[in-house]
Amino acid sequence: MSLFKKIFSSQKKETLDKGLEKTKTSFFSKLGKAVAGKSKVDDDVLDNLEEVLVSSDVGVDTTLKIIERIEARVARDKYVGTDELNTILRAEIAGLLSETNDKDVSEIQIPKDKKPYVIMVVGVNGVGKTTTIGKLAHRFKSQGLKVVLGAADTFRAAAIDQLQVWADRVDVPIVKQQMGSDPASVAFDTLSSAVTQDADVVIIDTAGRLHNKVNLMNELTKVKRVMQKVVEDTPHEVLLVLDGSTGQNAFEQAKQFTKATEVTALAITKLDGTAKGGVVIGISDQFKIPVKYIGVGEGIEDLQVFNKHEFVDSFFKI
């Protein structure tokens, strides 16, 4: 590893550690209490652990899965000390993450033979879609890719302006229409423009303010259908953005969006400043959709490619 790479990757690790700080602190203080005064993992300890996981937003189903696996281990090994619990838990969580995220580093790959590669970004209002798009555009551009943004969240003028701010900051072209125009029409224009410019990547922002599942499904289906008039098989990716700090709400949103459309990738934002980082584990397990990015701040560099090893390392590094 070159020195540059080493410095860069250690810096990146620091942001992740910092980003997960609140989650870790809260998790380990609860875990400490759960095993206080106990030397052996018994039913009490497991009950407490269950509570810790649920209250860390890992989600009930995933928590039960983890508890059952540890129970099986205790039954098999007869004696498991509470001092081993950390290591065991870590292994179980790493195992769960591996079931969904089979690759070590799960960044969206832009294939050369699909040009432009179209990423549609979905999620409810305020979760961080536009911010994530800005960070992603910056990331792709730094890789030498030609990026075009499409402002298909046409509900609010501010939404279009905000994407424009990001486009200026990153210095990539944006396609937009006025507020209230048809999102599908904006998406169509964006793809047409991207084809003309021979762009590598198109990122389409969408509105999250759709009041029910049927509306949402109809809207997204329409945007897709219209885009397919320009580029076959689009979108190549549907990236669902979830706000990690909302805990159980993020699970609910994932449920709604996966019912409404085919989601291929997840970005979980706002993991800085929240103790609810456990959602990453639960959502990855429950929805079987790979987490590709995590947001750990509002800045342009505060988007990390999700690396399951680093995540678990960071989570368990006290």
Ligand X SMILES: Nc1nc2c(ncn2[C@@H]2O[C@H](COP(=O)(O)OP(=O)(O)O)[C@@H](O)[C@H]2O)c(=O)[nH]1
Write out the binding residues.
123-130, 205-209, 269-272
d(CA 76, CA 187): 56
Is there a contact between 244 and 189 (Cβ–Cβ < 8 Å)? no
Q: Which of residues 101 and 130 has its CB atom nearest to Mg ion in the complex? A: 130
CB 67 to ligand X: min, Å: 30
Q: Which of residues 50 and 302 has its CB atom nearest to Mg ion in the complex? A: 302
Is there a contact between 259 and 8 (Cβ–Cβ < 8 Å)? no
Instruction: Reduce the DSSP state of residue 48 to 3 states and report it.
Output: helix
Burial of 114 (0-12, 13-18, 19+ CB in 10 A): middle
Report the interhelical angle of 60-77 vs 279-287 (nearest 10°).
90
Q: Which of residues 91 and 305 has its CB atom nearest to ligand X in the complex? A: 305
CB 260 to Mg ion: min, Å: 18
CB 65 to Mg ion: min, Å: 34
Q: Does 159 bind Mg ion (CB under 5 A)?
A: yes
CB 208 to ligand X: min, Å: 6
Tokens of 313: 């390392």
Q: Which of residues 101 and 132 has its CB atom nearest to ligand X in the complex? A: 132
Closest CB to ligand X: residue number:
295
Can you tell me which of 62, 63, 130, 286 binds Mg ion, judged by CB under 5 A? Answer: 130
Say which residue the tokens 């584990």 belong to. 281
* Residue ranges at the known binding site for GTP: 123-130, 205-209, 269-272
End-to-end CA distance of the chain: 26
The interface partner of residue 23, options being Mg ion, ligand X, none and the CB cut-off 5 to 8 Å by kind, is none
Closest CB to Mg ion: residue number:
130
- By CB under 6 A, name the binding residues for ligand X: 123, 125-131, 162, 208, 269-270, 272-273, 295-298, 302
Is there a contact between 35 and 45 (Cβ–Cβ < 8 Å)? yes
Of 68, 49, 62, nearest to 285 by C-alpha is 62
Residues that bind Mg ion (CB under 5 A): 129-130, 159
